[in-house]
Amino acid sequence: MNADQNPRILASERRPAPDLSAAAQAVADGRIRAAALLEQALAAADAPAARHAYIRRFDDMARAAAAAVDAQRAAGAPVPPLAGLAVSVKDLFDVAGAPTTAASRSLADAAPAPADCPAVARLRAAGAAISGHSNLTEFAFSGIGINPHHGTPANAATAALDPTPRIPGGSSSGAAVTVASGAAWAALGSDTRGSIRVPAALHGLVGFKNTAALTPTEGCLPLSFTLDTACAITHSVRDAVRLHAILGARTPRLRGRPAAALQLAVPVGEWLDDLDAAVAHAFERALQALRRAGARITELRLPEGEAPALASGRLGAAEAWAWHRGRLGARAADYDPRVLARVRMGRDLDAAGYIDLLQARRAWIARFEALARPFDAFVLPTVPVVAPPLAPLLADDDAFFAANALLLRNPSLVNWLDGCALSLPMQAAGEWPSGLMLFGPALADDTVLDAALAVEAALAPVRG
């Protein structure tokens, strides 16, 4: 590359800590150029920690966006909210001029998208440097993050604790790895049964699944028309607020309440089963810190009915079958066999069974919303375990499907109730990454975000 493509990074132009919001402010203040931060992100994308994180990269496009922001600032124009910073896009979302392939060999011949999908267009209008299409579980169909076609990115946050490659979480595997490795400041992904929050938790990042109706999914390859949500992975809750404002084209109304003002609920029963020691310890410590900060925490049971993880899995498989069934006659051999098996499960649900599921979901939502009225948010571990080693799950189908079910159990609850949820890190320095999930019913997004800011602040001393 020539000097224009790779501008010299000055000694003073080091990556500012700790998050996108801080970096955007540094660009706006003239303390660092967007172009310099972009070159650092592109260098991180070339490093081993980000291996397999991208399906395709848009380096020239990203450089042009960063240069445009620097030109705006030099001319005295306002710097946009994303300030020319690298943002990755899950390979489900249309980016103008690039194919959208869902990380699947079966879509290798897809034509370039004629235009950005609405979510990408909103990011671009806010000044994002769209850095590339990130890797994922093929067609977004698992919580593990394995992809046999393009390689599986190893967890970018666990290598310092254990050199054994561990799963990234899915389906937004590459999205989390781009952020954790420094290859992007934020990542656009999708969440159908936990696909944003699972990899965020396993990397010690923030993942916000907003109410599905608040962000457009047009121009995004579907997994489940009912459950899919377009949303983002970030480094902090304030970044999650910023990205949600952009993706939802709305201004979150936050009250700025402290933890002492919060009424929180902890669902007991199956949701706290099978916690490994690291997650159980971090969760109990987080609850103790919140109580010390003055939050009132109540234990309760959620409404009875079919387990949300099973019900949402059946609904998602049925809707996936509706989209894939016309393609399988010619392209089934190009699918990941594990993904293909899950898609084919959807053909066993007839129209009456599908309608029964939707009606049961509406009834369950009504019961949950009545239960939720006194509380600002419900609190659970995002996933019950830390990131398991990758090799055993590559080798054994039974181990893979058991781990997948465990990882999706808690987060899929939120998609089933059409709610909103945020996973934020609860591990202390030197501990395995783990996530604390705050959630609430549909359109409680601002309340959950407000509570998450207070919880993040309350946990800061114990997290170091």
Active site residue 412: no
Question: What is the identity of the amino acid at 410?
Answer: N
Query: 172 and 139 in contact (C-beta within 8 Å)?
Result: no
Catalytic site residue from 90, 172, 181, 312: 90
Active site residue 21: no
Catalytic site residue from 21, 134, 172, 195: 195
As a whole number of angstroms, the distance between CA 375 and CA 372 comes to: 6
Alpha helices, H only, 142-211: 173-181, 197-203
Element (H, E) at 328: helix 308-331
As a whole number of angstroms, the distance between CA 416 and CA 297 comes to: 24
Q: Which residue has the tokens 């121009």?
A: 219
Using DSSP bridges, classify how beta strands 86-90 and 186-190 pair: parallel, antiparallel or unpaired.
Answer: parallel
Strand residue runs (E) in 73-170: 86-90, 129-134
Query: 166 and 390 in contact (C-beta within 8 Å)?
Result: yes
SS3 label, residue 192: coil
As a whole number of angstroms, the distance between CA 76 and CA 405 comes to: 52
CB within 8 A of 222, min separation 6: which ones? 228, 319, 323
Q: Which residue has the tokens 């019913």?
A: 441
Catalytic site residue from 106, 142, 171, 181: 171
Active site residue 90: yes
Residues labelled catalytic: 90, 171, 195
